[in-house]
Structure 1
Amino acid sequence: MPAEVILSDRKPRPSDAPAALAGLLVIDFTRVVAGPACTQTLADFGAEVIKIEQPIKGDDTRAYEHAELGGESAAFLSLNRNKQGMVLDLVIAQARDIARALIAKADIVVENFSSSVMEKYGLDYPTVSQTNPGLIYCSISAYGRTGPFAWRSGFDPIAQAESGFMSLNGFADGPPIRTGAPVVDFATGMSACNAILLALAARQRLGRGQHVEVALFDIALAMTGFSGMAYLMNGVNPSRTGNSPNDSPTVGVFDASDGPLYIACGNDRLCHRLMTQVLGRADLLTDPRFATRKARWTNRTQLRGILADIIAADRMEVWISRMNQAGVPVGRVRTVEQAFNAPEVRARDRVCRIPHPTAVSIPNVEPAITMQMTPAVEPRAAPRLGEHTTAILRARLGHSEQEIEAFRQQGAFGPIQTVA
């Protein structure tokens, strides 16, 4: 039986603390991962984010299989916190009118539709910026909004595969492996958020908004990092090295007698501490095979074998204690279950529970950004499909109940029963 994480109520936010992005209105046309990750960060720090979904099914992640609570999936709940939810059937003219009216009042629009969809609906940047020149309009796509590949759709693993990023993951004698979590999606969401914040800073100085763009492929290519740069410098295609960057013999996973550890001695100083203060094997540093970084790499198979035998002879806690005392970077190789039950998670208040209208409460993973003066806002659970549609129409656009009912009858919100 798996251990269950004990979730406490979230510690209250200081009542007098301002929010970093308070007063900004974001119209969110995104779905799946990268776009919602971007807009959730904006919402977490005070922007009013209105998430617009298609009627009936909404965001694809509502139906993802990982886990379900209160009628919503883990994926949707983890990516859409602090947003208001609205449904619009953009095929209907009246729904497009509503979308344009909201955009006219917005500071930011974020979209990750397939190429030309926003143009088809008259919601593209050249069109909507005519009436809102201060608008910051962020497009997230697979291969960019311009050029010969703009038509291509794609997802995180496709970007990992085509960029060369996937070729770096795995062991030399095995196939390329995608990362377990969709890291390109998340990195794209972070980059999109950065682009928006940069555009906000530019708007303060220059007085107008702009179109910003982030593509999964571009992000994945950039994430090849050192390996991509090395290829450009020496023309040698990098290979997979498993858990050890550059196949270093003193960096990677080593098995203690009761479980795996990750040790990261990536320079001479740390290697010296490992050999002398932790392992008690100063002789390894005088051995010509291991005396220098280059020698250690040349004889990496022999050195890794020696280290593996030593570490296998004692328990994880013994090695962790010694390495911490010596200042040698080390960590347990944990499962997700072990990680979420770890003392670091509790000490840093990384998880809590928050109210939910149909599940009473749901787990919440705190934003990974800490700001002293303008902390994240009090978290609200991701919205139910169409939960705030009528409230937004009343409060943001000033529509009467009669006008809202007319929109409903015209099909602007899809089938009537899908709207809360």
Structure 2
Amino acid sequence: MAASAKAVEEDDGKLPLKGVRVLDMTRVLAGPYCTQILGDLGAEVIKVDAPVRGDDTRAWGPPYAPYSKESGLTGPGESAYYLSVNRNKKSLALSFQHPSGVAALHKLLPTIDILVENYLPNTLAKYNLDYATLSALNPKLIYASITGYGQTGPYAPRAGYDVMVEAEMGLMHITGSRGGPAVKVGVAVTDLTTGLYTSNAIMAALLARARTGRGQHIDAALSDCQVATLSNLASSSLVSGERDSGRWGTAHPSIVPYRAFPTKDGEFLVGGGNDRLFGILCEGLGKGEWAGDERFRTNAERVANRVVLEGMIEEITRGRTTQEWLEA
């Protein structure tokens, strides 16, 4: 038994954040997703919930995971939404609007490595839970703030939700069918990418602290992260000086063929990302000669002749079922 217990206690390095303690003062998605990543990597995450109600997403259902009989709790259960971003966490219910709640957090603070919050800028200052106050109590504290529009600037006081930022910062403009209306992405991708960016920034701050002995304040914003993830589309507009051409459905503005094509009973997706793959695709379609056609020899030529090539491919793909093409 002693040898077994010792083996459990030994750090095998598979959880790189083991021994790191995180105070999670976030709600909904971007913040909880960030702290869940830290927990998955071994950190001890303590989620601060408001008494009685807790995180808004506890009520976002159905579906709900039913409470066990042993819990003694009644009601529909815990929402699937809440559970999706709050695993590997301990829970602490307190109100920092009450002096005793703030005192409890201040008492806990010397043991905390990372604090993540997603309140409007300056909201926590009136409770003495802002970075300036807490870093004076614990200079090694890494304090990450997640907001819609950042800690400074004209939009800083605004609340920000995923779908609003998708619309404002270009994502909905490029999402949807060609010629159709703008649509939001099926999952709250702006929240999720912000959570990823913030967790990455926290990792960098941990490395900086190991070198300097000091923590820092991380300012993460949904708007910033959404603009960053426009990536090559934003770069294309900046380089060309032209307005983005809008929505492409499953197609790609710079690669042809690269979209879904109709079959007898549905669709399947083709991606010919380079000349070699285009040649393989031509062979698979029974049209090997297309690879040598002067209209299609390079990707630039295929993009210029997009309508012609996609029409030729479509004529062939309609001849089989989706499953037949997948097995071809």
What are the equivalent positions in structure 2 for 1:178-327 lying under 5 Å apart? Answer: 178-238=184-244, 239-246=246-253, 248-276=255-283, 278-322=284-328
Partners of 1:43 and 1:57 lie apart in 2 by: 23
1:365-386 CA-to-partner distances (Å, cap 9, x unmatched) read xxxxxxxxxxxxxxxxxxxxxx
SS of 1:295's partner is helix
Paired amino acid for 2:160:
G
How many residues align? The count is 308
8 Å CA contact retained: 1:27, 1:102: no
2:30 aligned residue:
34
Greater RCO, CA 8 A, separation 6+: 1
Gaps of 5+ in 1: 1-13, 323-420
Is the partner of 1:102 in helix, strand or coil?
helix
Residues 17 and 43 of structure 2 are in contact (CA less than 8 Å); yes or no, is this contact kept in structure 1? yes
Is the partner of 1:129 in helix, strand or coil?
helix
Contact kept in structure 1, 2:146 and 2:220, CA below 8 Å = yes
Q: What's the counterpart of residue 47 of structure 1?
A: 43
Deviation string 1:263-283 (CA, Å, 9 cap, x unpaired) is 11122111111112x112123
1:71-124, CA deviations, whole angstroms, 9 ceiling, x for partnerless residues?
A: 111110111001011111111111111111122220010000122111111001
- Rounded Cα–Cα distance in structure 2 between residues aligned with 1:29 and 1:294: 50
- Report the equivalent of 2:20: 24
- Distance in 2 between the 1:129 and 1:142 partners? 23
Contact 2:140/2:215 (<8 A) preserved: yes
The alpha-carbon deviation at position 248 of structure 1 amounts to 4.1
Aligned position for 1:335: none
- The residue type paired with residue 22 of structure 2 is V
Aligned Cα root-mean-square deviation (Å) = 1.7
Letter in 1 for 2:263: A
Q: Deviations over 1:199-241 (max 9, x none)?
A: 0011111111111121000000011111111111121111211
The structural deviation recorded for 1:154 is 0.7
Q: 1:69 aligns with which of 48, 65, 71?
A: 65
Aligned partner letter, 1:219: C
Show CA shifts across 1:169-203 (max 9, x none): 11231111110100110000011100111000111
**Aligned-residue offset at 1:58:** 0.7
* AA matched with 1:62: R
Residue correspondence of structure 1 range 114-133 to structure 2 within 5 A: 114-133=120-139
Rounded to whole Å, the distance in 1 between the matches of 2:319 and 2:20 is: 58
| 1:95 aligned residue | 101
Q: Secondary structure at the match of 1:149?
A: coil
- In structure 1, the partner of 2:166 is 160
- In structure 2, what residue type is equivalent to 1:48? E
- Stretch of structure 1 that moved more, 27-36 or 284-293: 284-293
**2: CA distance between counterparts of 1:292 and 1:205?**
49
Tell me by how many angstroms 1:66 deviates: 4.4
Shift in CA distance, 66/266, structure 1 to aligned 2, threshold 3 Å: farther
Matches of 1:172 and 1:256, distance apart in 2: 19
Aligned ranges 1:330-369 → 2 under 5 Å:
none
Q: Note the C-alpha offset of 1:247.
A: 6.4
8 A contact 1:248–1:297 mirrored in 2: yes
**2: CA distance, partners of 1:313 / 1:218:** 46
Amino acid in the other structure paired with 1:42: L
**Alpha-carbon distance change, 153 to 184 in structure 1, aligned in 2, over 3 angstroms:** same
Does the Cα contact within 8 Å between 1:103 and 1:109 map onto a contact in 2? no
Measure the CA separation in 1 of the matches of 2:99 and 2:226.
37
| Aligned partners of 1:275 and 1:285 also within 8 Å | yes
Contact preservation (8 Å) 1:125, 1:137: yes
Q: 1:60 aligns with which of 42, 56, 59?
A: 56
SS of alignment partner, residue 312 of structure 2: helix
Aligned-partner Cα distance in 2 for 1:255–1:67: 34
Counterpart CA distance in 2 for 1:194 and 1:143 is 19
Tell me which amino acid in the other structure corresponds to 1:26.
V
Distance in 1, Cα, partners of 2:215 & 2:37: 20
Letter of the 2:157 counterpart: W
| Distance in 1 of aligned mates of 2:233 and 2:265 | 34
How many angstroms apart in 2 are the aligned matches of 1:162 and 1:155? 11
**Aligned partner letter, 2:17:** L
Identical-pair percentage: 40
Letter in 1 for 2:287: R
Supply the distance in 2 between the matched residues of 1:294 and 1:230 (Cα, whole angstroms): 15
Amino acid at match of 2:259: G
